[in-house]
Structure 1
Amino acid sequence: MDLQELIGNFGRNQPIAAQAIGLIGLVAIGWIANVVASRWMLSAMRRFASMSSNHWDDALVRAHFFQRLANLAPILVIYFGVHAVGAHETVELVVQRVALATSTILFVVVISAFLNAVNEIYTAVADDGHRPIKGYIGFLRLLLYSVAVIIALSILMDRSPWIFLSGLGAVSAVLLIIFKDTLLSLVASIQITSSHLLQVGDWVEMPDFKADGDVIDIALHTVKIQNWDKTITTVPTYAFITSPFKNWRGMSESNSRRIKRSLFVDVTSVRFLENNEIERFAGFGLLRKYFTEKQRELTVHNSEPGRDLGKNADIRRLTNVGTLRAYMLAYLETHPKIRKDRTLIVRQLSPSPEGLPLEIYCFTNDIVWANHEGIQSDIFDHFLAIAPEFGIRIYQRPSGGDLAALRPS
């Protein structure tokens, strides 16, 4: 009796054992197929990607596309091989349905990996002002998984997928509650992308979430912000539509950063300039043009009929605070780190209990935070030191040492 006849007799005499052995052998063949696909073929694709000059194959490897594709091999072996082992029709039908449903889910997993690679390639080739597509990919992935689950259930239960889809209408209210955040995030992603409100790399401030830093990731449901202390704040995507936030991208694109700070002058030190002070200040290079124009203007004004030159109330005179303001403006106009094509003013604000504010409003040509702060500090160091030259005292709230100096000795 040859081996083929022996196997045939065993199958007729022990049908259940024969089917069990056949199914175990089929599973073993599927395992071998998985080993071959995941190890040998996957290693070959990785070597090919490393030698290739293209970037798309490297992105597919990093997204585990080929690894997930290899997972389909054992399922396909079982699906097509279950008929060859001579299994019972019911067993064969169940195994094929389970294999087909599993392959449907795995196929969507493969597509999901491919979409991850597409997003990586898009992010790499797009310029700094690209519009992120990760939110759209996330929504498409969710849609594909939902369809795959419906198809898998219809295969397992041997029902048309339209039966499950028709039943969605009855539970639409429940689905809207379950997927509320997803729907809100989808709408927000469309508005953010179409309006170009946000992109990776933007510096944003969001007080409601105590977020202040750079955007490092924009997904369907969340936006990740790395704060300046290197902590990560996760903000719902739809919050950028419903909550106020500040985007500093315009500062980076304009290559300028604003200085808006005041010196507080002690109002008791404000006075008119004496003639000797006018002569001395007129010799300053930064004030020469100012004094020439100002004295001409004052001469014309004070020569009008009815002006009594001996009374300050009837004439206009130069003041030390006005001269200091002119000096500060001239100093900024000649400063190499100040943008001349942006707003540049030195203005006087309303007096307050802290004194008379002289506000500097200008823009530096360096947007790096540390460099900008250094430029700003150097400017105010100079203004604080030069103010006494004009007879100006900078206001400072009395401290313990000041009050102790008033104590009788």
Structure 2
Amino acid sequence: MKLIYDRLLEYGMDPDLTDFLAVMILILFIGILCIVTNFITKKVVLRVITHIITNNKIEWDNVLLERKVFHRLSHIVPAIIVYYFSSTFPDFQSVIEKGAVIYIIIVGLMVTNSFLEAFNDIYLTFEISKIKPIKGYIQVIQISIFILGGIVIIANLMGESPFILLSGIGALSAVLLLVFKDSLLGLVAGIQLAANDMVRVGDWIEMPKYDADGDIIDISLNTVKVQNFDKTITTIPSYALISDSFKNWRGMQVSGGRRIKRSLFIDTKSIKFCTEEMIEKFKTIQYLSEYITSKEQEIAEYNTRHEINLDNPVNGRALTNIGVFRAYMNYYLQHHPGISQEMTLLVRQLAPTENGLPLEIYAFTNDIRWDVYESIQSDIFDHLFAVAPEFELLIFQNPSGNDFRNMMEDFGGKIRGRGTDNYS
């Protein structure tokens, strides 16, 4: 700066104005130098490094490039220049040096963090990573490095040794843990939630303990906000998602299919063997014609081979209306345009209950939208309720008030009829 000052005095400028202009020229020079070096680093050096990395046969260095380790490292160059020229400003040298050092530390933390993430990515390419993952250890190292970096920055601002600051923090750790308990729990929970990809904004979660059933709209340090389907907002502590159980429906949304798991309850009194008339009727049903024909042949061969006495239907094998109806339900679902054929699809018989015999449909729709899912499910059961009587099956239903009223009316009619007969 003295050289610039002397040159300006030679031109006969005022000494006070000369000081100001010398400072401004030097600042401008440093700024231009930083811009030029940054441009050279990013446009020339990084391009050369990128070209070398992308054109060699080594795979792991591509990960370093993707994680932008070299890009972030380039930010150190301008800070070094500013630190080098800080001595030309004696009045502000300490402030400039501290600022440059803090910037270098921050860039160093960013580079280290990117390198650790790249290291984890490289490790995941090996088969051993599936057995012994190191992501948790990487995260612990990242947290430790950021804490140490923060301590070094604070110590640099205070002009003290970092070890002195560490000893002071150790004495206050108990108080800090007590005062910032919720924040620390939220911080740890937030790191775990993000690291394990447990929840994201937009996920549909269910957490009955907090009456939460809806989409996540915000994830902060201490809370997770859920907008329920009735448009109310439930706020859940972040650490509750770690300590308590909850259901995340993201898997269903990603799979592209939504499960139907619902039963028809058949009145057991209506279950019976199929008669010849019933079998001929079932043959006219499009989905069952081939099934009935093949089953008849299979049953006839079995009974003939084992010399079954068919005078009693208990002997041998025979078709039942419940079995044929179950087969029809299965074929019907296999041909339904709204049911996914790539996912689990079955019709199963559950254990009988006091409400009859449950025939459960376990299948997945090929559309996860709520309204479409409900429409597909309703259409299926509308049809099955309507066709069950065609198989001479009754859907179980507890007697209602109307049933009792009709029964009483019938009973009263019979009593009145008997009374008239006796009178006559």
> TM exceeds 0.5?
yes
Supply the distance in 2 between the matched residues of 1:307 and 1:160 (Cα, whole angstroms): 98
Gaps of 5+ in 2: 1-90, 107-142, 413-424
The aligned counterpart of 1:392 is 393
- Farther-moved stretch of structure 1 (197-206 vs 181-190): 181-190
2:151–2:162 contact (8 Å) kept in structure 1: no
1:58-77 counterparts in 2 under 5 A? none
- The C-alpha deviation readout for 1:160-217, integer Å capped at 9, x for no partner, is 8865653322232222222222232222222222222111111111111111111111
2:264–2:360 contact (8 Å) kept in structure 1: yes
Supply the distance in 2 between the matched residues of 1:245 and 1:323 (Cα, whole angstroms): 40
2:151–2:166 contact (8 Å) kept in structure 1: no
> 1:307 Cα deviation (Å)?
1.5
Supply the distance in 2 between the matched residues of 1:373 and 1:260 (Cα, whole angstroms): 12
2:203–2:250 contact (8 Å) kept in structure 1: yes
Supply the distance in 1 between the matched residues of 2:297 and 2:181 (Cα, whole angstroms): 71
The aligned counterpart of 1:197 is 198
The aligned counterpart of 1:403 is 404
The aligned counterpart of 1:325 is 326
**Code of the aligned partner of 1:253:** V
The aligned counterpart of 2:293 is 292
Supply the distance in 1 between the matched residues of 2:391 and 2:204 (Cα, whole angstroms): 41
2:189–2:239 contact (8 Å) kept in structure 1: yes
3-state SS in 2 of match to 1:317:
coil
Supply the distance in 1 between the matched residues of 2:352 and 2:301 (Cα, whole angstroms): 30
The aligned counterpart of 1:257 is 258
1:49-60 counterparts in 2 under 5 A? none
> 1:372 Cα deviation (Å)?
0.6
2:207–2:245 contact (8 Å) kept in structure 1: yes
3-state SS in 1 of match to 2:287:
coil
Supply the distance in 2 between the matched residues of 1:342 and 1:148 (Cα, whole angstroms): 55
3-state SS in 1 of match to 2:310:
coil
The aligned counterpart of 1:353 is 354
The aligned counterpart of 2:122 is none
3-state SS in 2 of match to 1:350:
coil
The aligned counterpart of 2:371 is 370
Q: Greater relative contact order (Cα 8 A, min sep 6): structure 1 or 2?
A: 1
> 1:332 Cα deviation (Å)?
0.7
What's the TM-score once normalised by structure 1's chain length?
0.61
1:180-191 counterparts in 2 under 5 A? 180-191=181-192
**Code of the aligned partner of 1:301:** Y
The aligned counterpart of 1:315 is 316
* CA distance 1:364–1:280, change in 2 (3 Å): same
1:112-123 counterparts in 2 under 5 A? none
**Code of the aligned partner of 1:249:** R
The aligned counterpart of 2:241 is 240
Supply the distance in 2 between the matched residues of 1:359 and 1:327 (Cα, whole angstroms): 13
2:216–2:226 contact (8 Å) kept in structure 1: yes
* CA distance 1:159–1:194, change in 2 (3 Å): closer
Gaps of 5+ in 1: 1-82, 84-99, 112-138
What's the TM-score once normalised by structure 2's chain length?
0.59
Supply the distance in 1 between the matched residues of 2:232 and 2:263 (Cα, whole angstroms): 32
The aligned counterpart of 1:121 is none
* CA distance 1:210–1:364, change in 2 (3 Å): same
Supply the distance in 2 between the matched residues of 1:163 and 1:278 (Cα, whole angstroms): 92
Supply the distance in 2 between the matched residues of 1:214 and 1:148 (Cα, whole angstroms): 41
3-state SS in 2 of match to 1:187:
helix
Q: Does 1:335 align with 2:341?
A: no
* CA distance 1:342–1:299, change in 2 (3 Å): same
> 1:237 Cα deviation (Å)?
1.3
2:340–2:365 contact (8 Å) kept in structure 1: yes
Aligned length: 279
Supply the distance in 1 between the matched residues of 2:342 and 2:204 (Cα, whole angstroms): 24
3-state SS in 1 of match to 2:378:
helix
**Code of the aligned partner of 1:175:** L
The aligned counterpart of 1:305 is 306
Q: Share of identical aligned residues, percent?
A: 51
**Code of the aligned partner of 1:174:** V
**Code of the aligned partner of 2:270:** S
Supply the distance in 1 between the matched residues of 2:151 and 2:308 (Cα, whole angstroms): 91
1:26-37 counterparts in 2 under 5 A? none
3-state SS in 1 of match to 2:388:
helix
**Code of the aligned partner of 2:221:** L
Q: Does 1:177 align with 2:174?
A: no
3-state SS in 2 of match to 1:303:
helix
